[in-house]
Structure 1
């Protein structure tokens, strides 16, 4: 037999083995994560290139990470000139992005990292569900989680530090359900570096471990780990709120206390209406889990986040908009998988039948809801076209020299922060900007923007440098 002929079957067997390996169930969670990374990245970047930034948050985080990348303090001038972001929220975990930002100094870096973190969280959710329920039902839950409304709204809403909490929560709760106590604690502990309130969430995960330890063989070491996490999480939140944040805050306090005690409201502090609370709770557990997650103790991990949101007097926290529900999604979906794993022991036949079909129903609900959620925009041709007005606006903003001090509103921020010192319009605190870049509001003109600049800075002369794509730039004269 010729050598080439002899090796042909071997190559075919090798190729067949490779294809079989790629179809192995153990790779399913990583495939799900890869697909959602592409989708989340596409969603974020399609908005960015069309200048559809929703708020100043992306600029604030970029300024802070820029400070870390320069081996300096995380100064966010958009919150006020010289403001250290650690005096606003305690989120030092964002410093992990700094090395990447130093190489790629762009808001795109933040958006891609966020997409990666959100996509990474689908891996433990899918893996646990498949382990407990089988491949098909596990995949259904993993995909439903990736499509969940809380995740989609967060990915759509620029960048936020809670992106780091998503994989930490998912990996920690996966470990809890699989009785890997030490891993559960180690994954939960870094939550204290994501945001000041998440120390309480970490403490509740410790309490959850203690609950799961009941009825099993005595494990003093696991109990010690869990108790340590409870104490560590509570202490970390107390120190962040009482010491760290006030020490970096210009006023020496934690600014968000006013949202809980109502002292910042001009009149009687608003309280969440009962119907709003019920509606939000139903959105969290009904389309995502068919209420079945209520059968799992894992759901208690959602209580701290729900608690501060519902106790707040700020109505932005009460509903289902923005990014505030994202950290609840890993909790409810892992609670669902945990509850479904115990369903065969349910005493009622209808409940067992309901549980058997629930993963498919949850996936169907997620797919149906996506028609009205951000990922649906990826099916629209306009999501991949950069309007002429955006190109014109970018050309106008490019005329602002690097290193300039710019007073800006939301629109221009994402094109300026990486090369200019950007201050929020109306909050320059005595600093006179070199340029003022603003969106021209409906019914107004570029001359109105010029007048606004002169009103904000009496005695300073400005001239209209240009207008394009619905934006105007005025330049200081002299």
Structure 2
């Protein structure tokens, strides 16, 4: 087993603390969301209880494996069973992202020495793709990033069998990642590992076809995979080119000199082909899996500098990461409110209102309130609910519209119609309204 030098451990620990501070303080300040922290907590809560990963936030009886294929999330169930709550997911994600810095930093130390290698490792840990993922709730890709980072380290070192072993579980993380495994097989073929490469490539493609064509539809209410719409490859090309440039920029463009960068192509292909504009840019969590690919590609690239000029690359990488942070989520670390999140008076006031909802209750909650309740209640998303088909006992929402897949007008319409559905407002404060169901609706 590879040893981890003390400086690398300290760097990973520092990144873990930074990730934890940003994500947990955001949750304490009521800034996490049902889409997606609440959804994933409901799924992992299902696993922890020995059942299926159902998510009422997605709809009554919705099985998460019929939405996206991420059964590896079940490995977090024992931890959640011991420490139930959204904080457990955020801490686990912080730890997984921090661990992914270990193989990247080890490779960087081999290339640039201890000081330069730690600078590159810190630049990776603070890279914009990782920051965006840490700050946007919890997602299954936190399992993929360390697996991919260790697999890439093995590829650079020529440890082919170990690389495949690290990459193989990616097929259980999300349905697009079998194609990344196939790309790793293609890289092995380029490196002369024809038999192992063909097996890995073929296995990845077959796994993808089975998951998208058979397994996900088997769990889906409509017996289909819901994310097949595409054909947008030539839509908003400048935005997509900017995303590619941003992937290369943290490495001073040196990543483009290594064939390892080809492993990023499946992720870029499905994102740019998809019809959803959220996939095309640099927001959310979608680029986190590309960060280890870009940095390891840089470390694998043929040297272009020698002597004292070798210091330029680590210095550039770290400077780019630090300067980028001024416009990224980790700028919150310089905000005193981040460190005082537990005593935030507005958040404390909201929690006092939520405490009126009993454990085990059925609740319709707006997006930012949902993950405050998913550990102890059955939570549906407002304004999708309540309605004639389902009327939870409680409704709690921010008076100011929060719209995920709903418009502001729909939000306001459902809010105005709550009395007609039999709801009475019993509390309010800090922009939050709490309703309870007191009688059947006139139409019911």
TM superposition score normalised by structure 2: 0.91
Residue matched to 1:434: 393
Map 1:55-204 onto structure 2 (within 5 A): 56-204=35-183
Q: Is the 8 A contact 1:41 1:115 kept in 2?
A: yes
Tell me by how many angstroms 1:118 deviates: 0.3
Cα distance in 2 for partners of 1:354, 1:292 equals 15
| Conserved? CA contact 2:104–2:292, under 8 Å | yes
Question: What residue is the counterpart of 1:313 in the other structure?
Answer: 275
1:223, CA displacement in angstroms?
A: 3.9
Over 3 Å counting, the alpha-carbon distance change for 1:294 and 1:270 in structure 2 is closer
- Structure-1 separation of matches of 2:268 and 2:171: 17
- CA distance in 1 between counterparts of 2:87 and 2:394 reads 24
Query: How is 1:204-353 mapped onto 2 (pairs within 5 angstroms)?
Result: 204-213=183-192, 223-258=194-229, 260-261=230-231, 272-286=235-249, 288-339=250-301, 342-343=302-303
> Could you say what secondary structure the match of 2:434 adopts?
strand
Count the aligned residue pairs. Answer: 426
Contact 2:34–2:57 (8 Å) recurs in 1: no
Residue of structure 2 aligned with 1:418, choices 356, 372, 375:
375
Distance 2:413 2:287 in 1: 41
Provide, for residues 269-316 of structure 1, a one-character-per-residue CA deviation record: whole Å limited to 9, x for no partner: 795322112211111101x11111111011001101111111112111
Q: Partners of 1:41 and 1:324 in 2: how far apart?
A: 20
Partner of 2:346: 389
Contact 2:271 / 2:280 at 8 angstroms: preserved in 1? yes
Following TM superposition, where does structure 1 have runs of at least 4 consecutive aligned residues deviating by more than 4 angstroms? 350-356, 448-451
Q: Which residue of 1 aligns with 2:438?
A: 477
In structure 2, the CA distance between the partners of 1:301 and 1:457, relative to structure 1 (3 Å rule), is farther
8 Å CA contact 2:112–2:311 kept in 1: the answer is no
Deviations 1:227-278 (A, max 9, x none): 22111111111111000000000011011112x15xxxxxxx7953221122
Q: Using the TM superposition, name which of 226-235 and 176-185 deviates more.
A: 226-235
Preserved CA contact (<8 Å) 1:464 1:474: yes
Contact 1:391/1:469 (<8 A) preserved: no
Tell me the CA shift for residue 420 of structure 1: 0.8
Offset, 1:170: 0.3
TM-score in terms of structure 1 length: 0.85
Counterpart contact for 2:69–2:174, Cα < 8 Å: yes
* Bigger CA radius of gyration: 1
Task: Quote how far apart the aligned CAs of 1:395 are.
Answer: 0.5
Aligned-residue offset at 1:54: 4.4
Task: Report the RMSD for the aligned CA atoms in angstroms.
Answer: 2.2
Does the 8 Å CA contact 2:383/2:415 hold for their aligned counterparts?
A: no
CA distance, structure 2, for counterparts of residue 432 and residue 25 of structure 1: 54
Structure 2: give runs of 5+ residues left out of the alignment.
403-409, 440-444
**C-alpha distance in structure 2 between counterparts of 1:181 and 1:169, whole Å:** 14
Which string of whole-angstrom CA distances, capped at 9 and with x for unpartnered residues, describes residues 47-68 of structure 1? 0111111452000000000100
